[in-house]
Every structure is written in C-alpha cells, then in structure tokens.
Structure 1
Amino acid sequence: MAAHLLLKLAAFVQRNRSGLLAVSCAGLFGANVLYHVFPEQTFRTVYQCWAKGQPAELSGQLQSLFREVLQDTGVRSAEKNFKAFAAFGFQPVGAGIPWLPGGALVGIPATFNNADDGQGIFVINGKEVDWHSQDGIFLKEALTLSAEAQMFSLAREVLYFQGNSPIIKAAVAPACLFGVTLSGVAVKQLLGLYSGPVVLRGLYNLAVLVAGLVGYFLAYDAVNQWLDYRSDRRTATLSKDYARGGVEYYEKLLARNRTLRRLMGKQGEKLYAPTGNLFPRYWFRLKHAPYTARRDLIVNILKMHQV
C-alpha cells in the first residue's frame, strides 16, 4: 500500500514538476522575507527593550542623531520609511523594506542612551560585572561610543535596507532550489537515468540534494558577507567623519569581544577568537564578514579621505 502511494506521488510530481517548482520557490522567498514585510508585528516584538514593564524610549538626543543620519544617507519621507525604537543588546539591529507600507525599523541599543557612563547591571555567568575591576573598566570603555561611531552604526543599518538587502538574501534559497532542480533534471536526461534502475535514480537524487544544500550554505554566506562589505563601504564613503566613526565602532566591538572572552571563561573562548572576531558556529560556514576585515576596509577608506 505504501509503495503504491509512493508511486502515485512520484507520478504526480513528475507530471506537475514545473508548477511545484514555481510554488516551492515562491514559498521559500515569501517565508524568508515575511518578517521584513511586517516588521512592527514580527521584528519589534522580539527586539524591543523593556524598562519597568514598559517599552523603553529613546532619548531626545538619540532621536535627533537618527534624524541626522537619515538626512546624511539621503532618506526621503523619513517618518514613513524609517522608524527607530529602543532595542536590547549592544549593536543596532533592523528589519523591513523601506518602499513597502511597513517601512523599515532600526533598533537602537538602549545602552546608547547611557553612552556617557556605560554602567548598569551587566551579568556574566551569573555574576554582576564589577565596573571598577580591570576587565570592567575595559568593558565600560568598549561599550562607550562617540557620536561618530554611533552615527556610523546607524547609517550602516539604514544603507543596508536602502540597498534592498533583505530581498537579495531572501532570493538566495529559491535561486539555489531552481538551479539545482533544473541542473539535476538535465543531468538525469543526459545520462539516461529516467530509464535506469530506481535505486540508481534515488542515489543520484540524494547526491543532488546534498550538493544543493552545501551550495546553498556557501552561496548564502557569500551573499551575506558581500552585503556586509557593501554596507560598510557605502557608509564609510559618506564622509571622513563616518569613516572615522566606523574604525572606532569596529575597534570597540573587537575590544568588547576580547573582554567578554576573558570574563566568560571557557564559554567565551568558544564564542570569541583572541582577535575579537566571532568563531563560526559550524566549521564550514562563515555567515558574516570578520570584524577585523571590515575594520581594515574602513581604515583604507579613511586613508583615501585623508589623501
């Protein structure tokens, strides 16, 4: 009975493979881009920072800083296209597509509000950080960003979404599925596998699936790194101040990670390299460009500004 159902399913797929491929590609694209279409309902609920049971608010200084960044990056109709909110964490985050009704959201770390003192309750491995210890002083310094560094980090997010980066990332999966499916069918026809043993076709399909997954991971990471470099480059070329802020931002980011590596012990050694870069979660994947390489890119752009 099961074999009969499998044969019927295989025949159905064979007859409707073009339609199924189109639906699958569209579904993959929609699933990857969905939370960018409704950022208020999806992204903000996850990253919103809360204080005393209420959503944290951005200070007037940060709101003014964000408006200045929007002007520098040439954003029109800023109130509609880009909105900012207080997010948890230490780095700006974002989601959305500016030209859609939902616009784009940029989450500004709540710690930016307290950039002057850099203090507060910070717990690592169940213990509060002693801000008067050597590592506490280093961490405080790493978390304290100048206005130039803050503007760079925010402008980078704005330009990232202005460049339709979410759509480019979402298109990787359906493009890989489309390419692997077409090439797999073409090779099977070329080798005459359709008239060959079922077991041989099954082994071939398994090999194509594995190759497709590996290709997807490599393509996705390559696109991600290209988008990282593109956003950094576009931001740093805005002006010498933005380039200088970018160098400071990544220097502080690396210093923060090195300090956390020491404070977190063995867990920190698994997460952060001695340089401050993030260790890849999987040995064959590197989802984002290394922070040291991104810093060096901006250092070279700053030299060009100075010349």
Structure 2
Amino acid sequence: MGIHSPQNYMAFAAFGFHPVGASVPWLPSGVRVGLPANFNSTPDNMVGITNRVVLINGKPVEWESTSGAALKEALMFSPEAQRFALARKVAWLQDSGPLLHATVAPACLAGACAYGVGVKQVFGLYGGSAVLRAVVSLLALALGAVSYVLASGAVSQRLDCRSDWCAASLSQDYAKGGLEFYDKLLSRNRTLRTLMGPKGKQMYAPNGNLFPASLLMLRHAPYTTRRDKITSLLKDGKA
C-alpha cells in the first residue's frame, strides 16, 4: 500500500476512540483523517481517555472501578496497533470506500426501476390495469430494498477485509498491531456488554462481536473473523 499524494491527506482531532475518515484522495480537496484522543495515551499517562466523561446508560463511567479499568485498558493501543488502525483507514479511503458506499443506494434504485419498467413492457401492463402496474412497482421496490441491504453489507465487508489485508501485509509489526487492535476491540465490547446491562447483551455477543441489526443486515465482517484472517496472514508469512 503506497500513498501517491501525501499532501492530499490532512489530520484532525476526532472526538471518538477510533480513527475516522472522509472524502477520497483523488478529489482536489483531499481527505480528512481523524485521530482519536486515546491514541495520545500511554500506560503511564492515560489523559486521552480519562479526561473526558463517557456516559453509559446515562451515568458516567468510573474509571477506577473494575469495569472502568477494563474499559480503559481496552481503549489504550500500542504504537503498532495505532499504526495498523491508521493504515487500514487510509487503505479504506484509497479504495474509495465513502464513494462505493454512496453508490449502492442509487444503483439498487436504478435496478429496481429498470426491473419494474421491463416487466411492465414485457407483459404489456402499460395499457392494462393500473392495479397490476402498482403491484409490479411495489414488487420492484421491495426487490430494490432487499438488494440494497444485501449489497450494502457485501460492499462493507469486502472493504473491511481488504483494508485489513492492505494494512497487515505492510510488515509483521503492522500485522501484530492488527491482532492487538482487534483483541482490544473485542475486549472493549465485552466490557461494554457488562456495563450496559440488558441493552449491552442485545448489542454485543459474549465474544465481543456485534450482533447484526437483522439476519439480512450484517454490515461489517465480525471482529473475530478479521482477527483470524490477520493470524492466517502471519502464519503464511505474507506479512
């Protein structure tokens, strides 16, 4: 993975706990990569984590409690894990991730419209019952909605896995940082599952993966799967 135009990348301070990115690098305005405050924390100085109020179920997290300490530890990343997280975000931007996500909806809508028009033309419904035309239109819209859900999830998962591969294949240090990154994400989610109570059990699996919003809507590849792919990359000597 190479950055052809470093001047097109600009950093800013992000509020959350993970890198964020916007735009695509080949636009004149370039891209913006957000660096979270916890990336400025070390085991001896966790000010990037503890200097803010994090509310869970309307109550601030007590960082000195057992669960708070576990969450604090999960939010602190080594330099290798930080480099991996930033590299995968840059790879995602270089693959035009925001643009690909934005094109899924109009592509599915155009496909649904083409399907509806085609069916009406083939069966000669334009000169027939308006009710039948309405039924075909509804079926086309339903097909478009299902296509959007499936295509959106497929695009997200493909981008996730490719970004991980691009970052982890840079070197063994990046790959090991990737393992730590996903181990920390899983640990964070397990801690949040406990802190959030019943709502946490609805959102997070016992192993730390996110529960999908629905059976059809698996928006991102599971963290355990992504971690295992990096492990395989290390074992195969491709990192």
TM-score by length of 2: 0.91
Mean Cα deviation higher: 293-302 or 177-186: 177-186
Cross-structure match for 2:234: 302
Cross-structure match for 1:75: 3
**Post-superposition offset of 1:132:** 3.3
3-state SS of paired residue (2:77)? coil
Evaluate the alpha carbon distance shift between residue 187 and residue 300 of structure 1 in structure 2; reply closer, same or farther with a 3 A threshold: same
Residue-by-residue CA offset, 1:59-78 (whole Å, 9 max, x unaligned): xxxxxxxxxxxxxx422342
Residue-by-residue CA offset, 1:120-139 (whole Å, 9 max, x unaligned): 14332343333333222221
Of residues 222, 227, 234, the one that matches 1:290 is 222
Cross-structure match for 1:213: 145
Is 1:102 the equivalent of 2:29? Answer: yes
Name the structure with the higher helix share: 1
Q: Which runs of 5+ in 1 are unaligned?
A: 1-72
Highest Rg: 1 or 2? 1
| Structure 1 residue identity aligned to 2:3 | V
- Which structure is higher in RCO with an 8 Å CA cutoff and minimum separation 6? 2
Mapped contact 1:239–1:305 kept (Cα < 8 A): no
TM-score by length of 1: 0.72
Mapped contact 2:119–2:136 kept (Cα < 8 A): no
Is 1:256 the equivalent of 2:183? Answer: no
Mapped contact 1:115–1:143 kept (Cα < 8 A): no
| Structure 2 residue identity aligned to 1:88 | F
3-state SS of paired residue (1:276)? coil
Of residues 204, 209, 219, the one that matches 1:272 is 204
Distance 1:173 1:115 in 2: 42
Evaluate the alpha carbon distance shift between residue 199 and residue 155 of structure 1 in structure 2; reply closer, same or farther with a 3 A threshold: same
Residue-by-residue CA offset, 1:2-40 (whole Å, 9 max, x unaligned): xxxxxxxxxxxxxxxxxxxxxxxxxxxxxxxxxxxxxxx
Of residues 179, 183, 190, the one that matches 1:247 is 179
Is 1:159 the equivalent of 2:97? Answer: no
3-state SS of paired residue (1:94)? strand
Aligned residue-pair number? 234
Distance 2:62 2:114 in 1: 59
Cross-structure match for 1:89: 16
Of residues 203, 208, 217, the one that matches 2:135 is 203
Residue-by-residue CA offset, 1:249-290 (whole Å, 9 max, x unaligned): 000000001001101111211221111111223443111111
Is 1:230 the equivalent of 2:168? Answer: no
Mapped contact 2:186–2:223 kept (Cα < 8 A): yes
